[in-house]
Amino acid sequence: AQRVTQPEKLLSVFKGAPVELKCNYSYSGSPELFWYVQYSRQRLQLLLRHISRESIKGFTADLNKGETSFHLKKPFAQEEDSAMYYCALEGITDSWGKLQFGAGTQVVVTP
Amino acid sequence: KAGVTQTPRYLIKTRGQQVTLSCSPISGHRSVSWYQQTPGQGLQFLFEYFSETQRNKGNFPGRFSGRQFSNSRSEMNVSTLELGDSALYLCASSPGAGGELFFGEGSRLTVL
């Protein structure tokens, strides 16, 4: 069974400090992994996906197949990074439109 | 392009009633997915439609159903409402080949 675990419900960091959101998954195969973000009063939106290997808003995420992890990192947090972050997994087969979401991590960046 | 539009945004029903929620996807998107979001269970996949066909279904009882029309608009229906059906129902659209989902703002259902 596929499962996504985000162990931290809340992450509070100071502006300018590094931030790392943990995501571990369980899936028998090679899934596609995403980070979605929901800013206050905005809709859920894609932040980044592992196959694009991009850095978005200073965030990066590396897929570690050995540790089955997809942690999200940013070296210097900004106040505008305060949001709810969800790690999500899409299986390779029979998974159209179906994302398995983690429980989410609320990030609060304080000045 | 206009984003994913969901109606109604808020509604209150009583136990035993039924409800229909509507979703208009981004123009050109042929896949529509539905998710239920609750504080206890988080985001859970309900079903996905592509070209009027249900391609995928989550683990929800048969009281939850949906359909998609030829213009890609989708509706979901919940019959015989229970208190536990109170949730934010999110619709998402995509071109249909997997990958990024574009979410609507959701329909918040309260069952009394």
A26-52 pLDDT, tens digit per residue, is 988 888 999 999 999 999 999 999 888
Nearest neighbour of B55 by CB, restricted to A43, A96, A100: A96
Rounded Cα–Cα distance for residues B105 and B81 (Å): 22
Looking at every residue in chain A, the average pLDDT score rounds to 92
Nearest neighbour of B31 by CB, restricted to A46, A96, A102: A96
Between the CA atoms of A90, A27, A64 and B44, what dihedral angle is there, to the nearest 10 degrees? Answer: 40
Percent of chain A whose predicted confidence (pLDDT) is above 70: 99
**Residue B109: both structure tokens together:** 């259902």
Nearest neighbour of A44 by CB, restricted to B31, B48, B90: B90
31-50 in chain B: CB under 8 A from chain A: 31-33, 42-45, 48-50
Query: Degrees (nearest 5) of the Cα angle A52, A42, A99?
Result: 45
Nearest CA in chain A to B100: A46
Greatest mean pLDDT among A8-12, A27-31, A98-102: A8-12
pLDDT, tens digit, for every residue of B37-96? 999 999 999 999 999 999 889 999 999 999 999 999 999 999 999 999 999 999 999 987
Rounded Cα–Cα distance for residues A50 and A56 (Å): 11
CA distances from A8 to A25, A85, A105, B82 (A): 14, 11, 6, 31
A7 vs B contacts (CB less than 8 Å)? none
Distance from CA of A48 to the nearest CA of B (A): 9
**Residue A93: both structure tokens together:** 């087969």
CB-based contact (8 Å) between B60 and chain A?
Answer: no
